[in-house]
Amino acid sequence: MGMEIERKFLVASDGWRRGAGPGQPMRQGYLAAGSQVSVRVRVAGSRAWLNIKQAQSLTVRREYEYPIPLADAKELLEHACESGVVEKTRYRVPHGAHVWEVDVFHGDNAGLVVAEVELQSEDQPFECPAWLGRDVSQHARYLNHALARHPYRLWAGTAD
Protein backbone atom coordinates (compact mmCIF):
# COMPACT_ATOMS: atom_id res chain seq x y z
CA MET A 1 0.00 0.00 0.00
CA GLY A 2 1.26 3.47 -0.88
CA MET A 3 0.68 6.49 1.29
CA GLU A 4 0.56 10.03 -0.06
CA ILE A 5 1.21 12.91 2.32
CA GLU A 6 1.03 16.20 0.53
CA ARG A 7 0.71 19.92 1.15
CA LYS A 8 -0.85 22.21 -1.44
CA PHE A 9 -0.33 25.96 -1.93
CA LEU A 10 -1.49 28.64 -4.29
CA VAL A 11 1.32 30.11 -6.39
CA ALA A 12 1.90 33.84 -5.80
CA SER A 13 4.35 34.62 -8.63
CA ASP A 14 6.04 33.20 -11.71
CA GLY A 15 9.35 32.85 -9.82
CA TRP A 16 8.97 29.04 -9.96
CA ARG A 17 9.56 29.10 -13.72
CA ARG A 18 13.30 29.81 -13.27
CA GLY A 19 13.89 26.38 -11.74
CA ALA A 20 11.24 24.39 -13.60
CA GLY A 21 11.90 21.46 -15.85
CA PRO A 22 9.84 20.99 -19.01
CA GLY A 23 6.10 20.81 -18.46
CA GLN A 24 4.07 17.62 -18.89
CA PRO A 25 0.52 18.14 -20.21
CA MET A 26 -2.04 15.95 -18.44
CA ARG A 27 -5.72 15.11 -18.82
CA GLN A 28 -7.53 13.35 -16.02
CA GLY A 29 -11.05 12.43 -15.11
CA TYR A 30 -12.84 10.64 -12.30
CA LEU A 31 -14.69 7.38 -12.68
CA ALA A 32 -15.86 7.79 -9.08
CA ALA A 33 -15.21 10.53 -6.56
CA GLY A 34 -16.62 10.78 -3.07
CA SER A 35 -15.48 12.38 0.15
CA GLN A 36 -13.33 9.37 1.06
CA VAL A 37 -12.46 7.52 -2.17
CA SER A 38 -11.68 8.60 -5.74
CA VAL A 39 -10.89 6.55 -8.84
CA ARG A 40 -9.04 8.54 -11.49
CA VAL A 41 -7.81 7.91 -15.01
CA ARG A 42 -4.88 10.08 -16.19
CA VAL A 43 -3.16 10.51 -19.54
CA ALA A 44 0.27 12.17 -19.67
CA GLY A 45 1.93 12.05 -23.07
CA SER A 46 1.85 8.47 -24.35
CA ARG A 47 1.32 6.93 -20.90
CA ALA A 48 -1.80 6.36 -18.81
CA TRP A 49 -2.68 5.26 -15.27
CA LEU A 50 -5.62 4.25 -13.16
CA ASN A 51 -5.34 5.69 -9.66
CA ILE A 52 -7.32 4.94 -6.49
CA LYS A 53 -7.07 7.20 -3.44
CA GLN A 54 -8.65 6.75 -0.02
CA ALA A 55 -8.61 9.85 2.14
CA GLN A 56 -7.38 9.64 5.70
CA SER A 57 -7.52 13.45 5.91
CA LEU A 58 -7.19 16.31 3.42
CA THR A 59 -3.40 15.87 3.41
CA VAL A 60 -3.01 12.08 3.86
CA ARG A 61 -4.33 9.45 1.47
CA ARG A 62 -3.77 5.78 0.74
CA GLU A 63 -2.82 5.66 -2.93
CA TYR A 64 -2.72 2.87 -5.49
CA GLU A 65 -1.67 3.50 -9.10
CA TYR A 66 -1.54 1.15 -12.08
CA PRO A 67 -0.43 1.70 -15.67
CA ILE A 68 -3.17 1.01 -18.24
CA PRO A 69 -3.21 1.01 -22.06
CA LEU A 70 -3.38 4.53 -23.52
CA ALA A 71 -6.35 3.65 -25.75
CA ASP A 72 -8.31 2.40 -22.73
CA ALA A 73 -7.56 5.59 -20.80
CA LYS A 74 -8.66 7.81 -23.68
CA GLU A 75 -11.90 5.85 -24.01
CA LEU A 76 -12.55 6.14 -20.26
CA LEU A 77 -11.91 9.90 -20.38
CA GLU A 78 -14.33 10.24 -23.27
CA HIS A 79 -17.16 8.03 -22.04
CA ALA A 80 -16.90 7.02 -18.38
CA CYS A 81 -15.98 10.05 -16.29
CA GLU A 82 -18.76 11.19 -13.98
CA SER A 83 -17.81 14.88 -14.21
CA GLY A 84 -15.57 17.11 -16.30
CA VAL A 85 -12.02 16.39 -17.36
CA VAL A 86 -9.21 18.31 -15.65
CA GLU A 87 -6.53 19.63 -18.00
CA LYS A 88 -3.22 20.92 -16.70
CA THR A 89 0.49 21.13 -17.33
CA ARG A 90 2.69 19.86 -14.51
CA TYR A 91 6.17 21.24 -13.87
CA ARG A 92 8.72 19.78 -11.46
CA VAL A 93 10.64 22.44 -9.53
CA PRO A 94 13.51 21.49 -7.18
CA HIS A 95 13.72 23.64 -4.06
CA GLY A 96 15.67 22.79 -0.92
CA ALA A 97 15.40 19.07 -0.13
CA HIS A 98 12.16 18.61 -2.12
CA VAL A 99 10.83 18.68 -5.64
CA TRP A 100 7.65 20.72 -5.93
CA GLU A 101 5.01 19.94 -8.53
CA VAL A 102 3.47 23.08 -9.99
CA ASP A 103 0.19 22.54 -11.85
CA VAL A 104 -0.93 25.20 -14.32
CA PHE A 105 -4.58 24.47 -15.09
CA HIS A 106 -6.29 24.93 -18.46
CA GLY A 107 -9.84 24.77 -19.80
CA ASP A 108 -12.51 25.33 -17.16
CA ASN A 109 -9.81 25.71 -14.48
CA ALA A 110 -7.65 28.22 -16.39
CA GLY A 111 -6.13 30.86 -14.13
CA LEU A 112 -5.51 28.46 -11.25
CA VAL A 113 -1.89 27.58 -10.43
CA VAL A 114 -1.08 25.39 -7.43
CA ALA A 115 2.10 23.86 -6.04
CA GLU A 116 2.30 20.59 -4.11
CA VAL A 117 5.04 18.99 -2.11
CA GLU A 118 5.02 15.34 -1.04
CA LEU A 119 6.29 14.57 2.44
CA GLN A 120 7.32 11.48 4.39
CA SER A 121 5.25 12.48 7.44
CA GLU A 122 2.66 15.12 8.27
CA ASP A 123 5.06 16.97 10.53
CA GLN A 124 8.10 16.81 8.23
CA PRO A 125 9.65 20.27 7.91
CA PHE A 126 10.13 21.73 4.43
CA GLU A 127 11.45 24.96 2.99
CA CYS A 128 8.84 27.19 1.32
CA PRO A 129 9.99 28.89 -1.88
CA ALA A 130 9.45 32.66 -2.15
CA TRP A 131 6.94 32.16 -4.98
CA LEU A 132 4.48 30.24 -2.78
CA GLY A 133 1.23 31.81 -1.73
CA ARG A 134 -1.44 30.68 0.71
CA ASP A 135 -1.56 27.12 2.05
CA VAL A 136 -4.78 25.54 0.74
CA SER A 137 -4.09 21.99 1.95
CA GLN A 138 -7.21 22.03 4.14
CA HIS A 139 -9.52 23.37 1.42
CA ALA A 140 -11.21 20.48 -0.40
CA ARG A 141 -12.24 22.67 -3.35
CA TYR A 142 -8.59 22.58 -4.56
CA LEU A 143 -8.57 18.78 -4.87
CA ASN A 144 -8.54 17.74 -8.52
CA HIS A 145 -11.71 15.68 -8.22
CA ALA A 146 -13.46 18.77 -6.80
CA LEU A 147 -12.13 20.87 -9.71
CA ALA A 148 -13.62 18.34 -12.14
CA ARG A 149 -17.07 18.79 -10.55
CA HIS A 150 -16.93 22.49 -9.74
CA PRO A 151 -14.26 24.17 -11.90
CA TYR A 152 -12.36 27.30 -10.96
CA ARG A 153 -14.18 29.44 -13.57
CA LEU A 154 -17.38 29.04 -11.50
CA TRP A 155 -15.81 30.32 -8.27
CA ALA A 156 -16.25 34.07 -8.92
CA GLY A 157 -17.22 35.82 -5.72
CA THR A 158 -16.96 32.75 -3.49
CA ALA A 159 -14.69 32.30 -0.48
CA ASP A 160 -12.88 29.19 0.80
142 tagged catalytic: no
d(CA 106, CA 5): 25
Beta strands in 17-148 (DSSP E): 24-33, 37-44, 47-55, 60-67, 86-95, 98-105, 113-119, 132-135
Any bridge partners for residue 93, and if so which? 100
4: left (phi over 0), alpha (psi -120 to 50) or beta: beta
Distance CA(88)–CA(36), nearest Å, equals 23
145 phi and psi angles, rounded to 5 deg? -65, -30
Contact 41, 76 (CB under 8 A): yes
Half-sphere exposure of 84 (CA within 13 A, CB side): 17
Catalytic residues: 30
